[in-house]
Amino acid sequence: MDFTLSEEQLMIQQAARDFAQNELLPGVIERDDAQMFPAEQVKKMGELGFMGMMVDPKYGGSGLDTISYALVMEELSKVDASASVIVSVNNSLVCWGLEAFGTEEQKEKYLTRLSTGQSIGAFCLSEPEAGSDATSQKTTAVDRGDHYILNGTKNWITNGNSADIYLVIAQTDVSKGHKGINALIVEKGMPGFVIGPKENKLGIRGSDTHSLIFNDVKVPRENRIGDDGFGFKFAMKTLSGGRIGIASQALGIAAGAYELALKYSKERKAFGTEISNHQAIAFKLADMHVQIEAARHLVYKAAWDKDNGHDYDLSSAMAKLYASQVAMDTTVEAVQIHGGNGFVKDYHVERMMRDAKITQIYEGTSEIQKIVISRSILKK
Ligand SMILES: Cc1cc2nc3c(=O)[nH]c(=O)nc-3n(C[C@H](O)[C@H](O)[C@H](O)COP(=O)(O)OP(=O)(O)OC[C@H]3O[C@@H](n4cnc5c(N)ncnc54)[C@H](O)[C@@H]3O)c2cc1C
């Protein structure tokens, strides 16, 4: 077993680390405060190849492996989890799904724009009454021969307003249940497509989350991904890979908070010595270190499974479940180690604590990950 990263992976990791320090760190507090989308930074990430990391270079992608993607996600998330979720959705939920299941025409038309960052993608599954229970789709795509008529509302959509290409899951044939669901490519500006209000969130405030409303939107048939009825499978397959992205995001938030807490503990003095010399603080740091390393191994294993053609439904669910718990635990302790300073914005850890929470909710809550995991282990 070889745990060494390749030269190329180390280079990409360093590039992401440099980008995070030089381009994301300045202004991260202000963007969080103002709920400001990092448009300039996303453009630069497109130029660096971070928006289509695993996409074939013939469609403008970087042609890298999932481990490299996880490394980049970790480094970006150490500093700015709002920026990293934009990257994760674009890479895992939009580019990957299009490349794996789209037609050649769809890839040429949409994938190149998405993987170079010229366009931003959004993945639209959740609805007011269909979150964890994603089969309860109320959005309908009525088949009218050469086009579909799309009606309904999607909730909580990341990149909701910043995106220009949307993968929308909708029910075509109710009698077929989840086998009657389709995935359609919808473009911003299609008549009847309305962007709803922006959510005012606890964390990842720099990413824009919106509801989307579809009123008789005419979507050409050639915009359907896969065969008729493939939409639910498409969503589940795509989310399985997406969980590696969110697990890496959680890992990065935890690692970022840990690094800040470690540094602070060696500088801050109480009772005549650095607080790291108090065993209560040193043990917190020890626990954080072990948990982060364990999360990292789960994340890399899931990425490795995907890269090597193994099933990764179980490993990605385990990585997300565990890494998101570590993100919560570590950020709470990082605030504690910072004392009063942890409670104010300047020291970053309070933002990280707020950002960490979402990793236990989106792309399948922790409870849903446990359903995936328990089903998998019980069927063996
Ligand atoms: C900031 C943000 C960004 C998001 N981005 C996107 C996006 O880009 N695209 C998209 O499609 N969606 C997105 N979502 C939606 C997200 O995926 C859902 O919020 C999530 O899947 C949970 O669904 P829900 O909110 O309806 O909660 P519910 O499904 O109502 O769950 C409520 C609670 O009940 C629990 N629960 C539900 N069913 C079970 C069960 N069977 N067993 C045990 N517990 C259960 C849940 O775990 C949770 O604790 C986003 C959400 C947020 C907050």
**Domain CATH code at residue 114:** 1.10.540.10
On whether residue 74 sits in a domain, the answer given is: yes
pLDDT in tens, 32-84: 999 999 999 999 999 999 999 999 999 999 999 999 999 999 999 999 999 99
Distance 232 CA to ligand 1 centre (A): 16
Report the catalytic residues: 363
Residues above pLDDT 90, as percent of the chain: 99
316, 241 contact by CB (below 8 A) = yes
- Claim to verify: residue 367 and residue 239 sit in the same structural domain: yes
At residue 116, the 3 state secondary structure works out as: coil
Among 229, 249, 268, the domain boundary falls at 229
Pick the atom of ligand 1 nearest to 124's CA: 11
Cβ 316 vs Cβ 240: under 8 Å: yes
Judgement on whether residues 19 and 106 belong to the same structural domain of the protein = yes
Q: 297: Cβ–Cβ under 8 A, 6 or more apart, which residues?
A: none
Q: Do the beta carbons of residue 285 and residue 261 sit within 8 Å?
A: yes
Query: Pocket of ligand 1, candidates 132, 155, 200, 371: which has the most ligand atoms within 8 Å of its Cβ, to mutate?
Result: 132
- Residue 13 belongs to a domain: yes
The answer on 224 and 361 residing in a single domain is no
The mean per-residue pLDDT over the stretch 89-106 comes to 97
Neighbours of 36 (CB within 10 A): 14
Q: For 8-66, what is the HEC assignment?
A: HHHHHHHHHHHHHHHHHCCCHHHHHHHCCCCHHHHHHHHHHCCCCCCCCHHHCCCCCCH
Rg of the chain on CA atoms, in Å: 21
The percentage of the chain sitting over the pLDDT mark of 70, rounded to a whole number, equals 100
Note whether 208 and 265 are same-domain residues: no
Q: DSSP letter at 202? A: S
Per the structure, the count of domains in the chain is 3
Q: Is the CB of 372 under 6 A from ligand 1?
A: no
Torsion angle of the four alpha carbons 197, 203, 207, 211, in this order, in degrees rounded to the nearest 10: -30
Instruction: Give 135 Cα–ligand 1 centroid separation in angstroms.
Output: 13
Q: What is the pLDDT of residue 380?
A: 59
> Cα separation of 255 and 238, whole Å?
26
Residue 50 tokens, joined: 């971070």
221 in the same domain as 83:
no
Q: Identify the H or E element spanning 122.
A: strand 121-124
Residue 346 has pLDDT above 90, yes or no: yes
Residue 250 lies in a domain: yes
Same domain, 187 and 213: yes
* Ligand 1 site, residue 124, Cβ cutoff 6 A: yes
Determine contact, residues 302/357, Cβ cutoff 8 Å: no
Tell me, in angstroms, the distance from the centre of ligand 1 to residue 282's CA.
Answer: 36
Residue nearest (by alpha carbon) to ligand 1 atom 23: 131
Q: For ligand 1, atom 7, which residue shows the shortest CA distance? A: 157
Q: Which residue has the tokens 């009218």?
A: 144
- Which domain-ending residue is among 214, 229, 244? 229
In a domain, 2, yes or no: no
- Please check whether residues 51 and 130 belong to one and the same domain: no
Same domain, 82 and 113: yes
- Same domain? 73 vs 189: no
**Rounded mean pLDDT, 309-334:** 98
Query: Can you tell me the distance from the alpha carbon of 16 to that of 74, in angstroms, rounded to the nearest whole number?
Result: 9
Q: Which atom of ligand 1 is nearest to the CA of 129?
A: 26
Among positive and negative, which fits the CA dihedral 304, 50, 292, 358?
negative
Residues 32 and 170 in one domain: no
The pLDDT tens digits of the residues spanning 148-187 come to 999 999 999 999 999 999 999 999 999 999 999 999 999 9
Q: Are 366 and 239 part of one and the same domain? A: yes
225 & 306 share domain: no
**For residues 164-174, b (16+ Cβ closer than 10 Å) or e, as one string?**
bbbbbbbbbbe
Quick check: is 1 in a domain?
Answer: no
d(CA 237, CA 311): 11
Q: Which of 93, 361, 375 is the pocket-test mutation for ligand 1 (most atoms within 8 Å of CB)?
A: 361
Domain assignment present for 210: yes
Which H/E stretch holds residue 210?
strand 209-220
Residue bearing the CA closest to ligand 1, atom 50: 156
Mean pLDDT along residues 281-295: 98
CATH, residue 281: 1.20.140.10
Closest residue CA from atom 30 of ligand 1: 131
Last residue of a domain, one of 205, 229, 253: 229
- Predicted confidence at residue 379, as pLDDT, reads 87
Is 89 close to ligand 1, i.e. is its CB under 6 Å away?
Answer: yes
Mean pLDDT of 321-350: 98
| CATH number of residue 178's parent domain | 2.40.110.10
Q: How many CB atoms lie within 10 A of CB 27?
A: 16
CA 160 to ligand 1: nearest atom: 8
Ligand 1 neighbour 35 (Cβ under 6 A)? no
Range of the structural domain that residue 94 is part of: 7-120
Q: Do the beta carbons of residue 123 and residue 238 sit within 8 Å?
A: yes
C-alpha span between 253 and 345 (Å, rounded): 16
